[in-house]
Amino acid sequence: MLELPNTSVIDGNAIRWGRSGDGPPLMDQTFTDEIQDRYRRLDCPVTVLWGEQDGWLPHRMGETLAGLISDSPCIKIPDAGHLVQEDCQEAIMAAVLKRIGGNG
């Protein structure tokens, strides 16, 4: 059986990922801006899912991302925050099944 770490371990890893020691966050819009013009080069189907309750990045960013990557709209996932894969796994599975089933 899979044993999950307690939340303090997960939170600690998230903090380390977001910062280098006591320095500034490692994530910056500049990194996104540098590659944004390459999104259209993706040659595979893309569906952008966005947590409707995302308190970190607003939904308009998901809409912009979807417009840059694909012709499909950004799909809002109710009751999901920034980590849709944690908050609503069934929405991800539904989107994948729809896409591979040819209905996407």
**Domain enclosing residue 29, as ranges:** 7-100
- Please enumerate in sequence order all residues whose Cβ is within 8 A of that of 81, keeping only pairs 6 or more positions apart, or say none: 51, 53, 54, 55, 56, 87
Distance, C-alpha 35 to centroid of its chain: 16
- Is 1 inside a domain boundary? no
Give the single-character DSSP code of 32: H
- Is 93 inside a domain boundary? yes
Extract the tokens encoding 28.
């910056």
Model confidence at 2, pLDDT cuts 50, 70, 90, reads very low
Does pLDDT of 9 surpass 60? no
The residue among 91 and 71 whose pLDDT is bigger is 91
- Is 73 inside a domain boundary? yes
Q: What is residue 43's predicted lDDT score, i.e. its pLDDT? A: 87
- Is 38 inside a domain boundary? yes
- Is 2 inside a domain boundary? no
The model carries a pTM of 0.67
- Is 64 inside a domain boundary? yes
Q: What is residue 40's predicted lDDT score, i.e. its pLDDT? A: 86
- Is 82 inside a domain boundary? yes
Give me the DSSP letters along 34-97. Answer: HHGGGGGG--S----EEETT-SSS-HHHHHHHHHHH-SSPPEEETT--S-HHHH-HHHHHHHHH
Q: What is residue 99's predicted lDDT score, i.e. its pLDDT? A: 86
Q: What is residue 80's predicted lDDT score, i.e. its pLDDT? A: 95
**CATH number of the domain within which 24 lies:** 3.40.50.1820
Rounded to an integer, the average pLDDT of 15-21 is 51
Q: What is residue 77's predicted lDDT score, i.e. its pLDDT? A: 95
Domains held by the chain: number: 1
